[in-house]
Amino acid sequence: MRIGAVVLTMGNRPEELRALLDSVAKQHGDPIETVVVGNGSPLPELPDGVRTVELPENVGIPAGRNVGIEAFGPGGSDVDVLLFLDDDGLLAREDTAELCREAFAADRELGIISFRIADPDTGETQRRHVPRLRASDPMRSSRVTTFLGGANAVRTHVFEEVGGLPDDFFYAHEETDLAWRALDAGWQIDYRSDMVLFHPTTAPARHAVYHRMVARNRVWLARRNLPALLVPVYLGVWFLLTLARRPSRPALRAWLGGFKEGCVTPCGPRRPMKWATVWRLTRLGRPPVI
């Protein structure tokens, strides 16, 4: 099973990027071909054998990763599996690639694996990095309904069947958009606690652009993927939840602006999931209204 890796970077973490690439090169089994995409910035000197793509401007996370996918042929077809890894992460074990090969070979319906992200010093996993509602035990592996963007493995047949990440999202919720399309096509998603990416503990930035994109993309996500009856329910729940969290006035203003933007701007092609997929998501513990 041929494995490739896509790393997206803005060129501002050369030491961390080098350490990540070293951890990829140390993986057991056949060598992993790696593509590093410079998202609007020149790339630092990289190890021999690493392929590079330098984009003239920052096109956002999903579009940048899509460039990396296409570097492996249409839909990544030159390989069987693609790893997507944050440039300041580090594969904790040298058998992660072999574990991926075994998992995908054992389960033909498995389309995506979400790795566990752990702090390199404490080993702790933040609750927000466990892609399910019941996140109190990060050491429990399970089927899930979404995945982590910078620590995952995707079978390239998924891209060939349902397409890549949504370019226009730029940042936020692009993984869930792909996950819902994959689930609707019959693929499964696993969270694996034994496949670990070390990553320093951080909090997502809480600036105006963050709040605007989170809100806009939440609306686009619903408009693109949910049956018409569920769109207002899903967005209503998130609207009330946001108010209940009592954001600051500037944050709420940015969030409301993004929510409005999501309602009035084109969201891309609409492909509502089947009601059978809605039920499947519900059985997995996350009905698409939460």
Per-residue pLDDT, 157: 98
E-state strands within 50-179: 51-55, 81-86, 90-91, 110-118, 142-143, 151-155
Per-residue pLDDT, 201: 85
- Is there a domain that residue 281 lies in? no
Range of the domain at 81: 3-198
- Strands 110-118 and 151-155 come out as antiparallel
Contacts 24+ apart (CB under 8 A), 11-17: 11/38, 11/41, 11/42, 11/43, 11/44, 12/41, 13/87, 13/88, 14/44, 14/45, 16/87, 16/88, 16/89, 16/90, 17/44, 17/46, 17/87, 17/88
Do 62 and 187 fall into the same domain?
A: yes
Per-residue pLDDT, 207: 76
Do 127 and 56 fall into the same domain?
A: yes
Do 192 and 218 fall into the same domain?
A: no
Structure-token match 């994959």, residue found: 182
Per-residue pLDDT, 204: 66
Do 67 and 190 fall into the same domain?
A: yes
With contact defined as beta carbons under 8 Å apart, do 160 and 204 qualify?
no
CA distances 104 to 3, 10, 29, 100, Å, are 11, 31, 15, 6
Token pair recorded at residue 92: 């904790």
d(CA 217, CA 13): 27
- Is there a domain that residue 168 lies in? yes
d(CA 63, CA 168): 8
Q: How far is CA 72 from the centre of its chain?
A: 18
Do 121 and 212 fall into the same domain?
A: no
Nearest to 276 by CA among 183, 191, 188: 183
Do 184 and 48 fall into the same domain?
A: yes
Do 26 and 97 fall into the same domain?
A: yes
Per-residue pLDDT, 208: 83
Q: What is the CATH number of the domain that holds 65?
A: 3.90.550.10
- Strands 110-118 and 81-86 come out as unpaired
d(CA 214, CA 163): 22
Per-residue pLDDT, 231: 98
Question: How much is the pTM?
Answer: 0.95
With contact defined as beta carbons under 8 Å apart, do 219 and 259 qualify?
yes
Start-to-end CA distance of the chain, whole Å, equals 36
d(CA 126, CA 201): 8
Do 183 and 50 fall into the same domain?
A: yes
With contact defined as beta carbons under 8 Å apart, do 216 and 138 qualify?
no
Do 87 and 14 fall into the same domain?
A: yes
- Is there a domain that residue 231 lies in? yes
Do 161 and 74 fall into the same domain?
A: yes
For the chain, the domain total comes to 2
Per-residue pLDDT tens digits of the chain, which is 290 residues long? 999 999 999 999 999 999 999 999 999 999 999 999 999 999 999 999 999 999 999 999 999 999 999 999 999 999 999 999 999 999 999 999 999 999 999 999 999 999 999 999 999 999 999 999 989 999 999 999 999 999 999 999 999 999 999 999 999 999 999 999 999 999 999 999 999 999 988 776 567 889 999 999 999 999 999 999 999 999 999 999 999 998 899 999 999 999 999 999 999 999 999 999 999 999 999 999 98
